[in-house]
């Protein structure tokens, strides 16, 4: 009798980018290239690219305060049917994953809510899962997209 042994997570790529506005486009291009042929296509790939760009932009702006000498680290890992993208910074304030107020367009238009604050909401709704971890000074946004999902 044989049993299926789950495959160990496999690093597909990792890279660091200077914390300069605009480098979110480079991050999304590198991630898209890395996951090519892994079962994420069409609209799901576009959603993943949007989430990667937004998370990278947040890391550059809020985590590293647009300081190019402080890199944003990006890692892409495949674990079974999941593609995990880790976007990390050292320092800055931790992202308020669960404390953030849910954006409300009507309240924003009325001036009752800041016009900002769409980032984590957008990211959460673009991927299959998102969570934030903090280990010492290292803050990481983890994005998960499942491969071969319906509609891909």
Q: What is the pLDDT of residue 107?
A: 62
Average pLDDT, the chain: 85
Say if residue 100's pLDDT is above 80: no
pLDDT tens-digit readout, 23-40: 999 999 999 999 999 999
Is the Cβ–Cβ distance between 105 and 32 less than 8 Å?
Answer: no
Q: Regarding predicted confidence, which is higher, 100 or 99?
A: 100
Q: Domain total for the chain?
A: 1
Q: Is 103 helix (H, G, I), strand (E, B) or coil?
A: coil
CA-CA distance, 136 to 149, in Å (whole number)? 35
Which phi-psi region, left, alpha or beta, contains residue 135 (left: φ > 0; alpha: ψ -120 to 50)? beta
Confidence of residue 91 (pLDDT cuts 50, 70, 90): confident
- On whether residue 52 sits in a domain, the answer given is yes
CATH code for the domain of 52 = 3.30.565.10
- On whether residue 5 sits in a domain, the answer given is no
């Amino acid at each position: 009798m044989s049993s299926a042994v789950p495959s160990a997570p496999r690093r597909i790529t990792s890279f660091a980018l200077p914390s300069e506005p605009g480098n979110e486009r480079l991050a999304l291009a590198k991630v898209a290239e890395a996951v090519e042929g892994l079962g994420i296509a069409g609209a799901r790939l576009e959603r993943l690219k949007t989430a990667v760009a937004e998370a990278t932009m947040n890391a550059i702006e809020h985590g590293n305060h647009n300081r190019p000498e402080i890199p944003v680290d990006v890692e892409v890992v495949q674990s079974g049917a999941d593609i995990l993208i880790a976007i990390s910074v050292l320092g800055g304030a931790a992202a308020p994953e669960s404390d953030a107020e849910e954006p409300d367009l009507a309240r924003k238009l009325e001036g009752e809510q800041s016009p900002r604050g769409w980032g984590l909401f957008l990211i959460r709704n673009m991927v299959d899962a998102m969570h934030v971890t903090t280990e010492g000074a290292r803050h990481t946004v983890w994005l998960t997209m499942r491969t071969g999902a319906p509609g891909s």
